[in-house]
Structure 1
Amino acid sequence: MVVLNRIYTRTGDAGQTALGNGARVPKHDLRVDAYGTVDETNATVGLARLHADGLIDQRLGLIQNDLFDLGADLCRPDMDRDAEAKFPPLRMAAAQVTRLETEIDEMNAGLAPLRSFVLPGGSALAAHLHLCRTVSRRAERLVVELASAEDVNPDAIRYLNRLSDWFFVASRIANDSGAGDVLWVPGANR
């Protein structure tokens, strides 16, 4: 259980922060940028939930919890030492990816195939879900970049890749099951 008695610690005043294993790194470190963008994704999900209800809201709540798990995973480097850790780090699991895939398939089953790209917008919920999608894609790019330099849990990358797809399909559901989608018309304003 996490207990936060003090919010500020002054330990980051010189531009350093602590990773989950206690190592100090610059606040602009790629790993910090990656899990910080996961946190930003979570904040956009919180905004989307202001417009959601029912099953979509419930599923967004699960995603918010998953995103905290993902941040915990990313803030702990040294995956090769997981077995030796006094407190084993929380790592993303394949089951979390599978859950997203199942939900995507369920939502997509009732949607008509797209004949054009969809512009972000339509309903307020759909617009917010598109924002979630784009921020999660940025998080994915950062995590993939991090994985090119350091060990990263492959399920973390897979989760982010599926997550942006989840947001896209959910945005179509939020747009009256696709009837309210705003479609791109190539060259319409020439």
Structure 2
Amino acid sequence: MKIYTKSGDDGTTSLYGGKRVSKNITRIKAYGDVDELNSYIGLIRSYNKDINIDKQLHTIQNSLFDLGAELATPPEKMVLANGKPRLTCIIKVQQIEQIESWIDAMQEVLPKLKEFILPTGSILTSTTHIARTVCRRAEREVVTLNEVEEVRNICLNYLNRLSDYLFVLARYFGCLDKNIETPWTPNE
């Protein structure tokens, strides 16, 4: 299979189902941000040495592909004529519940958060904070998409919970590295 098709040379791309659209529409931006987030998760995995966290991140990367596939599918293509979902790779409530359980487990070993902290620390901690901000951007873009075309609310729930996970994961990595969190000190 060739990687280059030249079909996008005019600034368009295909959605699931074949419809050609401009590469700068909100739907493309939304799943592009999800793709960027997935790449940052891969970067975190390349620095991470914890096997259990790597398994979690691997699961998240697969879920982000599910989310990307769903976002690349126009609403009219989401359901078959018989009413069943066209895609089997869609975000499910179990994926959100899994993330919540991972957050809860990490928070068991973290000190209570009493103030805002700066996104700093080791390369792994800082990279995880960057992934969190990319996740927030993806969430905002999906919100924007939902204002013009219906997006299942669970997609937004997933991204919101994932950004929480990434925040806690950054703190967890800092704790493992014995980094002291830097509190925000507002300028007076």
Q: Structure 1 length normalisation: TM-score?
A: 0.90
Give how far 1:84 is off.
2.3
Q: 1:35 to 1:25 in 2, by over 3 A?
A: same
3-state SS of 1:175 partner: helix
Is the counterpart of residue 139 in structure 1 residue 138 in structure 2?
A: yes
Task: Report which stretch shifted further, 35-44 or 90-99.
Answer: 90-99
Quick check: 2:45–2:57 contact (8 Å CA) kept in 1? yes
Do the aligned partners of 1:15 and 1:26 also contact (CA within 8 Å) in 2?
A: yes
Which ranges in structure 2 are unaligned for 5 or more consecutive residues? none
> Does the Cα contact within 8 Å between 1:44 and 1:132 map onto a contact in 2?
yes
How far off its partner does 1:79 sit?
5.4
What corresponds to 1:180 in structure 2? Answer: 180
With over 3 angstroms needed to count, the CA separation of the structure-2 counterparts of 1:80 and 1:26, relative to structure 1, is closer
* Shift of residue 91, structure 1, vs aligned partner: 1.6
* CA RMSD across the alignment: 1.9
Q: Which moved more, 1:176-185 or 1:56-65?
A: 176-185
Whole-Å Cα distance in 2 between the matches of residues 87 and 7 of structure 1? Answer: 29
Q: Structure 1 CA distance, aligned partners of 2:103 and 2:78?
A: 34
Q: CA 1:81–1:128 in 2, change beyond 3 Å: closer, same or farther?
A: closer
Tell me the residue number matched to 2:96: 97
Question: Structure 2-normalised TM-score?
Answer: 0.91
**Contact persistence 1:79–1:151 (CA under 8 A):** no
Quick one: which amino acid aligns to residue 111 of structure 2?
A
SS of 1:183's equivalent? coil
Count of matched residue pairs: 184
Deviations 1:133-187 (A, max 9, x none): 0000000000011011111121111100000000000011100158522221222
1:124 aligns with 2:123: yes
Deviation string 1:64-111 (CA, Å, 9 cap, x unpaired) is: 111111100100112575132898223211111111111111111222
Unaligned runs of 5+ in 1: none
- Larger displacement relative to structure 2 (53-62 or 26-35): 53-62
Q: Which amino acid aligns with 1:182?
A: T
